[in-house]
Homo-oligomer: A and B are copies of this chain.
Amino acid sequence: MSQERNESVPHMKSEEFRQLGHQMVDWIADYWARMESYPVRAKVAPGEVLSKLPPHAPEQGLGGVEGWDAVFKDLESVVMPGVTHWQSPSFFAYFPANASGPSVLGELLSAGLGVQGMLWSTGPSCTELETRVLDWLAELIGLPESFRSMSPAGGGVIQGTASEATLVAMVAARSRVRRQRPGDAPLVAYSSTQAHSSVLKAAMLSGVARGASDTAHVRLLETDGGYALRPELLERAITEDLAAGRQPFFVCATLGTTSSGAMDPLGPTSEVMKRTGLTDMGGWLHVDAAWAGSALICPENQGLAAGIENVDSIAFDPHKWMLTNFDCDAFYTRDRAALVEALSVTPEYLRNAASASGSVIDYRDWQVELGRRFRALKLWFVVRHYGVNGLRAYIREHVRLAALFESWVREDTRFELAVPRSLSLVCFRLAPRPGEAPEATDARNRALLDKLNATGSAFLSHTVLPGVGGKPARFVLRMAIGAPSTQETHVRACWEALQKLTGE
């Protein structure tokens, strides 16, 4: 950047950047190699990291490459003890948050280019590479052409997270329904109780819900025994709300719920929306496939999305299970005009000839933020490096490992599956002992989880699955396989640790 010329501002010199950049790349490679030497979940106490950081910003800078020795030292002594290792091969908690070599290179390049692609004109490559790579992915996961940019009305965009995707879909839905059904009827959104918390959060942000307990405007419907949405309950709720003068406008179906990986039936859900007249009112069906969506790149999994041609939008996170660093959510809609109508504000200072021509996409109108970085690079790198075959092999290997884990659970009578395995997620628990109170079973499971996580050898998280059909709710452990480096040996070690702790 020709930064050398002004001596009063201590910009990093080109040679220094090269040297420190190489050092940082090597540090990362070393970290990946030694990752298993760390406890998976950080063992620090609250405030411990904070207490090691000086209370005031330094007056003087580092003064060159030598000064950076102190930074690398603090990285080891201050930062690393407080890192929970999401990339560890024994990280099985929540859902994965994938990083990979190609993706890190893409993030690095994006930072180095420093492009801000709010408008086509401020980043033509930022925009058009995103358009193309998202069309690639749309084809891979089996989306009809109506969701791709080649279609007159559809297209894909990278959102930061699935939460943003849900929010954007919800406000587009509101805009479309209000246009078709003007008035002040209270709006109602629908999902199952198992939908992600971001549905309720989107309703709170958008003002549809007044607070986290507003069940009048966000109906969280009971599920079937497999924790999937029950279309007949959705139909009843929509019908009742319409009869009461309320305005249904948004349904969120989930492919792969966070708690148990349940798959809501898309076809029957959209049928309900048609039958109740909601589709004709402009009602919107969004599919949150944040985690499971990546599995749709394998043809054998695409049946899970049967009926996808009738939904209005779908989002999934390559940053979860497709080797692309956070943040990268792929969002598709068949009605991009609704997005733009709900989100576009064009002040004079953003007007330009290309936008005025109508021949370009300005992705700022498809998202919450105005600014956007060049996130398509990392996705492009990942797809090119692995190729479709490599990406499919990656998904299949995790599914294979989860099936193996599931078989071990089935074979050990001390344990039970909470629900059948969903792709690479296994929900299981210590089985109830004869006559044991449900609370006691839960307590034993909680203790097992705490003991395992305290060892640092693996990290699992939990959920509570609601009781269905009069049964009690259950505390269950979630084995979510999906870190890039996870091998059979890590899954087996985790299972053996669980068995050993159970035997104690």
Contact = CB atoms under 8 A, between A and B. Distances in A.
Interface in A368-414: 368-371, 373, 377, 381, 383-390, 393-394, 397
Report the 7 A-B pairs with minimum CB-CB distance, sorted nearest first: A207-B207, A12-B101, A82-B125, A21-B25, A28-B112, A61-B387, A99-B114
Given A59-B388, A60-B388, A97-B114, 10 more contacts: A11-B484, A17-B105, A28-B113, A49-B125, A49-B128, A56-B139, A71-B384, A81-B125, A171-B205, A204-B342
A317 B463 CA distance: 37
A424 to B, nearest CB: 14
A11 B121 CA distance: 35
Contacts of A360: 46
A61 to B, nearest CB: 3
A18 B161 CA distance: 29
A201 interface: yes
Interface stretch (A35-43, A230-238, A279-287, A330-338): A35-43
Contacts of A124: 42, 44, 46, 48-49, 82-84
Interface stretch (A265-273, A346-354, A494-502): A346-354
A359 B389 CA distance: 47
Interface in A118-141: 120-126, 128-129, 131-133, 135-137, 139-140
Contacts of A49: 124-125, 128-129
Interface stretch (A1-9, A298-306, A308-316, A430-438): A1-9
Max count, chain B CB within 10 A of own CB: residue among A82, A137, A359: A82
Contact of A3 (B14, B259, B484): B484
Interface stretch (A86-94, A221-229, A239-247, A415-423): A86-94
Contact of A12 (B6, B100, B200, B370): B100
A156 interface: no
A211 B174 CA distance: 11
12 contacts: A1-B35, A9-B390, A9-B394, A14-B29, A21-B21, A25-B108, A57-B137, A59-B387, A60-B389, A86-B115, A178-B210, A197-B350
B128 A53 contact: yes
A371 B137 contact: no
A258 interface: yes
Given A1-B484, A205-B205, A478-B349, A128 B61 contact: no
A265 B384 CA distance: 52
Contacts of A484: 1, 3, 11
A47 interface: yes
A419 to B, nearest CB: 14
A198 B433 CA distance: 57
A377 B80 CA distance: 12
A32 to B, nearest CB: 4
A469 to B, nearest CB: 20
**Chain A: interface size category:** 35 or more
Given A24-B109, A100-B11, A485 B129 contact: no
B99 A385 contact: no
Max count, chain B CB within 10 A of own CB: residue among A75, A105, A175, A389: A105
A359 B48 CA distance: 12
Nearest to A342: B204
A227 to B, nearest CB: 13
A338 to B, nearest CB: 13
A163 interface: yes
B327 A388 contact: no
Contacts of A482: none
